[in-house]
Structure 1
Amino acid sequence: MLRLHTFGGCFLARDGRRLDALSGQRKALALLAVLAAAGEGGVSRDVLLAQLWPESDEARARTSLKQLVHSLRQQTQDPELLLPTAELRLNPMRITSDVHEFRDAERRGDHEAAVELYAGPFLDGFNVRSADGFERWAAMERASLARGFARSAEALAERAVARGDNHAAVEWWRRLANAEPLSARAAAGLMRALDAVGERAAAVRHSQLYEVLVREELGGAVDPAIAMLATSLRRAGPLAPVVTGTVIAPSATVAGPVSTERPTDRPAAASLPTQHPSVAVLPFVNTTGDPNDEPFSDGLTDELIGLLGRAPGLTVTARTSAFSFKGRGLSVRAIAGALGVAMVLEGSVRRTGDRLKVSAQLVRASDDRVVWAEMYLGTLADVFTVQEEIARAIVAALRVELGGAEIPGGAATAGEGHARLAGRAPASVEVYELYLRGRYLWNSRTRGDGLRQALHCFERAAELDPGYARIFGHASARGEFAAAKVADRHALALDDTLAEAHVALAHVLFVHDYEWAAAEREFRRATALDASNTAAHFLLAVCLQDQGRFEEAIAEVLTARALDPLSPQVGNLLGRVYVNARRPDEAIRHLRDTLELSPESDLAYQQLGHAYLQRGMPDEALAALRQAATLSGARDTAHLAYALAVTGDPAAARRIVRELLDPATNTSIAPFHMAMAYAGLGESDAAFDWLERGSAERAAFMDGVKITPAFDSLHADPRWARLLRRMGLTP
């Protein structure tokens, strides 16, 4: 029997003996690793082509895949190694893998089996040349599996403590701490366990070791909770309670962004493919100390992210992930490791009257070497030239292989370059500052009336300079889709190279007009203009999954996640696509990862509830949906009603429906979600009434009606096909 080993490396064995004939065939092993990690769901050939042959045209890539599959069957002397299905799958009767067994142990809650299988980081030290998609996939799988190992090890340690076996707890915590030396939770657990067995001196020594590791690896201060615990240990008094940060979220209290990953588990910059340069632009520091200048410094960062995103061959981390490290004081190496980039651009901005000073430097994460640095002095009116010069200098420093072509605008002079690279400059600094302030408020619109203020800034800027394309396209935020479409088309008439305007127009086209093909064309145009535009890939994934094109949607959302690895919204969408594709195991895994990033994500709990329903786990489903309802209110309460109805408690479901329809307690009724509740109750007439209303109103989430599993019971009704056709969808 063949067995693929992926933890701690990658090799194939037969009956316990390693097959050295395949050791040098990295793409063959990579193909097996991808299929093994996918399990019973398999992987579409299109996804494999994108991962393993990104630089080949489709015909050549398909030929290469066929040849590789044929070679594998010959080398292993097993013609039945792969199953002849639509999705490429390993034959479980012919080959097993540690990664598949690890996932299965996780699902069964067999933590001991999971920990024993984890022999080291997934595909540790294994890479494939000229296969950037595979490298990004492997880095994300590596981090996900490391988190799974940490969960299992911690569960075993806590069980040992609960039954009073402190010596066993020490061993489990030690195993976790050895694998994840920067984890604050592991450090605290081991220190407490050592103290419980009378080895307080060893506990203090571990706190000292942890402090050194954090300082050297992450360049920051130790978690205050760990410091408090260490102080209690040294004083030989009662131990201080320890509350450590979440596993990987940069906002957690652990002094580093990857508290459950050992250094080799992170997608370290040094191991990234040199053929595909990558950079994260960190928020430029506002050195004036005046909070009123914060929109300007953040805006300069946003602009640089956008400009660099248009450079062919350069991957640029999205704003959400880059800004999550603002003010954290972490080392470049730690941030690059968390984001999976080779280079980091950092800088500062200082305004004094109309004078401007901008300092910037590009740092290589592998050795902290500054590969480029510059200081710019001038007036506020020079900011456009400064942005242009920094962007071009970064591209030159990274030696991006452009096949003889320059980034948009070519190697123009600074004075004319910005007009072609970033579109026409605004008519005045006042217009530009209104635009930047609007962007700043837009990105922080969860605070009070930030959205209203942002729109006011955009509208005022438009009055002063109606020819500045970038200030249009925000009308949809008010729910004014018709006005939004007019604004988006106006922006594109002014500048057809504006990727964000294509994205905004595409969004209106599919969620309001149900013009699916036209929306996809706009999204494709946006990604062609700016391959690093996360919103384009994110919303294109939604558009594709709404039509039932799940494999294409997954490919787009994985691209978005590679660009924005710390975005809970992207993680939520990935889980949602897997739920709608009826692949609950993968949905559960990714949604759990998302909740580690964002423990109060209502959408993650909502989709986790539906994934548990598909897995036949009603108690877990109801618990997740109750948490979602607590966090979000009426929307997810309707989902809870659906779950109660389909798990045997229609009376409770009807009570919730009555409460939702009571105007005294709920003034906002969402048709899509009410229809779901009625579908669960088996009341198809009421469900269709709400769906018809939702379609007419262009209500939220209605674009996804076709692929939502909760509506499966309605498919046989003739009204279903008529509804879909009116929405431009095929039944």
Structure 2
Amino acid sequence: MEEFPANPLRIGDWCINPAAGQISRAGEIVRIEARAMRLLLCLAARAGQVELLNHVWAGVIVTPDSVYQAVTSLRRLLGDDARQPSYIATVPRLGYRMVAAVSDWVDPAADAVVELSPGLADRSIPASGEPSGSVTIEAKTQPSSRKKTVVIFAVTILAALMLAVAYLLLKRAPSELSSGTSTSATESAQSIGVLPFLDLTEEMDQEYFADGMTEELIDMLSKIPGLRVPARTSSFYFKGKQITIAEIAKTLGVAYVLEGSVRKSGKTLRVTAQLIRAENGYHVWSNTYDRSLDDILMVQDDIAMEVKKALLASLQSAAHPSTATAPNSAAYAAYFQARALRHGNRSRAQAQAIVDYLHQATRLDPAYAPAWAELARALVYQSTNQLVAADTIAAEAHEAASRALLLDPKLADAQLALGIVYAYLDWDWTAAEREYRNVLALEPGNAEVLALLSDIRRSLGNVEEALGLMQQAAALDPLDARYQQWLGEMNYSLGRLTAAESHLRKALDINPEQPVYALLAEVKLAASNTALALELLQHETDARARSAGLALVYFVLGRRAEADAELVALENRGASDVAFAIARIHAYRQEIDQAFVWLDRAESQRDPECSDIKNDPLLQNLRSDSRYKLLLQKMKLPE
């Protein structure tokens, strides 16, 4: 496959930056997915010539429609008109050609004198934007069998450098404010969004490494006091979307955006990163790192030493660095593979694959604390999703979390994992809350921990406090539909039906596939709008949630045979993983004995929904029964 230039190009009015995976014009910056960039570079390389695009889709069978759609999408990004093209012209029956002028990009501001604010000047960063302490390193050749793990070490390089950049950002913010630079209320000057790093390798097979790098940067930057960093879900919401940097920053409510890319060609790895001031598109900092795949392991210590020189001691203490040593490279690769599978909908096979990867990581490097912490979480996930019985993995989950904390007492992920084990396997709410609050002391901007702490307070019956904590989580991660769903659930339990509906519809705005239609139907049922409740259930994609909802609505409508049929179907196919949902239907129907049979089953299965037993509106008919109090005692919940 042809290798396209990595240096910026000028195409018409646009600056094309292949390494960063973006195009820009007059301060407007647009991220562009890898295949669209390849298409653009392919046309530019043959400007004026007819191109059949076989270089873009080499080895892939495509139809004329798919080519047409790709070109149409590219024209839309460039602001081009197919009828009067300024960039891409159609050659009937032959293909397409680039008609805009193409040349090397020359930055018009390259010769301008850049005046640094005091905060930047104090850190001795050259006007060129290259951090002091950068170094070109050569080393002896190593066996190429290590290629697959090479991208991992770029994480260490970039994470440390980004911490330095973030420190500069924090130092710079006061001077910007005092000099009159405007910052909106929603875009704090001390805020940064980390966008998913792009995989620009020829084979496009390093995505999980690029994603892992992004997660590491978000995690490390979020540990800096005073710096607001939107969480992973909000950052990854923009993955693959054609949207400008300014729009992304406005949505996330941040003043700065960090983005980058990973490119592998032959035996060379190129990692590019840049920090952008969103309001004007100014590149505050950028750098490119070229390393030999064979040499990368040998030069790791040298790179770490150079990075260390760039960091102040105060920054190191503020970031709560791990006390663990660098992991075995193969263990780190397995850990990254597991992390890549963690997000999104996980099948039974994927959930087991995560555990297998983490078992491999802990075998390869028993001293690597993050892998033990991740293993504990993966085991709990298997239990809460009824993929394995809780009692079969409880001991191993405890051991993994405890091992992580023993290896690295300052590792927030280890404390978080232990809290999750306490909450979902032991019903030990006090111990879980203690661990979550320890994590918040280290990472006050951790949206996930705020959401988990909210769940604890909600389980204990403190719904108002839980609501406030979840609102904080949603503010930190505004594009995570789950937080809006949980806000909807809590408002529903408090009888605030309008607010509940508002949050649930917002969840659907963020993610149209979010399974909240059944809950929305319950809200409408509580508002006596049975017809709309029935209509909403037709949109529910979760078959069991739809059956549960229909069982309720049909019962209210007096269609008893249909209600019974839905309930029986749910009991037949959901006994192992929706016992709590079945119990609440029986409770609503005032079938008290059956409700307690299913609640006992849900408790023994450690069904996570069971933790809302004190607040669920459908369980109202059970609360005067002595068995209800016994169940609370079994779950270690106050009466």
CA distance in 2, matches of 1:641, 1:269: 55
Alpha-carbon shift at residue 322 of structure 1 (Å): 1.0
Contact persistence 1:282–1:323 (CA under 8 A): yes
CA distance in 2, matches of 1:306, 1:635: 34
Matching of residue 529 in structure 1 with residue 442 in structure 2: yes
Q: Report the counterpart of residue 117 of structure 2 in structure 1.
A: none
Alpha-carbon shift at residue 223 of structure 1 (Å): 9.1
CA distance in 1, matches of 2:604, 2:301: 45
Matching of residue 713 in structure 1 with residue 621 in structure 2: yes
Q: Report the counterpart of residue 660 of structure 1 in structure 2.
A: 570
Q: Which amino acid aligns with 1:612?
A: K
Name which of 464, 478, 488 aligns with 2:382.
478
Contact persistence 2:537–2:549 (CA under 8 A): yes
CA distance in 2, matches of 1:592, 1:269: 33
Name which of 581, 605, 618 aligns with 2:530.
618
Matching of residue 690 in structure 1 with residue 602 in structure 2: no
Q: Which amino acid aligns with 2:569?
A: E
* Aligned positions, number: 454
Q: Report the counterpart of residue 561 of structure 2 in structure 1.
A: 651
Change (3 A) 1:655 1:368: same
Contact persistence 1:317–1:339 (CA under 8 A): yes
CA distance in 1, matches of 2:614, 2:545: 19
Matching of residue 465 in structure 1 with residue 365 in structure 2: yes
Alpha-carbon shift at residue 510 of structure 1 (Å): 2.0
Deviation per residue, 1:481-524 (Å, 9 max, x gap): 43222211111111122222222222221222111111111111
Q: Report the counterpart of residue 308 of structure 1 in structure 2.
A: 221
- Gapped regions of structure 1 (runs ≥ 5): 1-218, 232-267, 397-404, 412-419
Alpha-carbon shift at residue 230 of structure 1 (Å): 13
Change (3 A) 1:390 1:323: farther
SS across alignment from 1:496: coil
- Gapped regions of structure 2 (runs ≥ 5): 1-72, 86-180, 384-392
Matching of residue 542 in structure 1 with residue 459 in structure 2: no
Q: Report the counterpart of residue 285 of structure 2 in structure 1.
A: 372
Change (3 A) 1:441 1:632: same
Matching of residue 501 in structure 1 with residue 425 in structure 2: no
Change (3 A) 1:337 1:389: farther
Q: Which amino acid aligns with 2:329?
A: V
Q: Report the counterpart of residue 341 of structure 2 in structure 1.
A: 441
Matching of residue 283 in structure 1 with residue 196 in structure 2: yes
SS across alignment from 1:616: coil
CA distance in 2, matches of 1:383, 1:318: 28
Contact persistence 1:694–1:702 (CA under 8 A): yes
Contact persistence 1:475–1:487 (CA under 8 A): no
CA distance in 1, matches of 2:84, 2:427: 60
Deviation per residue, 1:207-255 (Å, 9 max, x gap): xxxxxxxxxxxx986499x999999xxxxxxxxxxxxxxxxxxxxxxxx
Q: Report the counterpart of residue 633 of structure 2 in structure 1.
A: 725
CA distance in 1, matches of 2:564, 2:212: 49
CA distance in 2, matches of 1:461, 1:517: 31
Alpha-carbon shift at residue 427 of structure 1 (Å): 3.3
Matching of residue 333 in structure 1 with residue 246 in structure 2: yes
CA distance in 2, matches of 1:388, 1:442: 32
Name which of 262, 266, 276 aligns with 1:349.
262
Contact persistence 2:322–2:408 (CA under 8 A): no
Alpha-carbon shift at residue 390 of structure 1 (Å): 8.1
Name which of 587, 608, 622 aligns with 1:700.
608
SS across alignment from 1:660: helix
Q: Report the counterpart of residue 275 of structure 2 in structure 1.
A: 362
Q: Report the counterpart of residue 513 of structure 1 in structure 2.
A: 426
Q: Which amino acid aligns with 2:218?
A: I
Alpha-carbon shift at residue 659 of structure 1 (Å): 2.2
Change (3 A) 1:671 1:387: farther
Change (3 A) 1:625 1:547: farther
Identify, as 1 or 2, the structure richer in helix. Answer: 1
Deviation per residue, 1:106-127 (Å, 9 max, x gap): xxxxxxxxxxxxxxxxxxxxxx
Change (3 A) 1:363 1:638: same
Matching of residue 581 in structure 1 with residue 494 in structure 2: yes
Change (3 A) 1:342 1:220: farther
Deviation per residue, 1:4-39 (Å, 9 max, x gap): xxxxxxxxxxxxxxxxxxxxxxxxxxxxxxxxxxxx
Q: Which amino acid aligns with 1:616?
A: S
CA distance in 2, matches of 1:364, 1:388: 29
Contact persistence 1:510–1:703 (CA under 8 A): no
Q: Report the counterpart of residue 29 of structure 1 in structure 2.
A: none
CA distance in 2, matches of 1:714, 1:647: 23
CA distance in 2, matches of 1:437, 1:558: 32
Contact persistence 1:311–1:408 (CA under 8 A): no
Contact persistence 1:538–1:556 (CA under 8 A): yes
Q: Report the counterpart of residue 212 of structure 2 in structure 1.
A: 299
SS across alignment from 2:473: helix
Change (3 A) 1:487 1:510: same
Select the structure with the greater relative contact order (CA < 8 A; seq sep ≥ 6). Answer: 2
Superposed, 1:402-413 pairs within 5 Å as 406-409=314-317
Change (3 A) 1:327 1:532: same
Alpha-carbon shift at residue 356 of structure 1 (Å): 3.9
Deviation per residue, 1:546-568 (Å, 9 max, x gap): 22212221222122212221111
SS across alignment from 1:291: coil
Contact persistence 2:433–2:456 (CA under 8 A): yes
Deviation per residue, 1:652-699 (Å, 9 max, x gap): 32221222334xx66745210111111122110110111112112212
Q: Report the counterpart of residue 242 of structure 1 in structure 2.
A: none
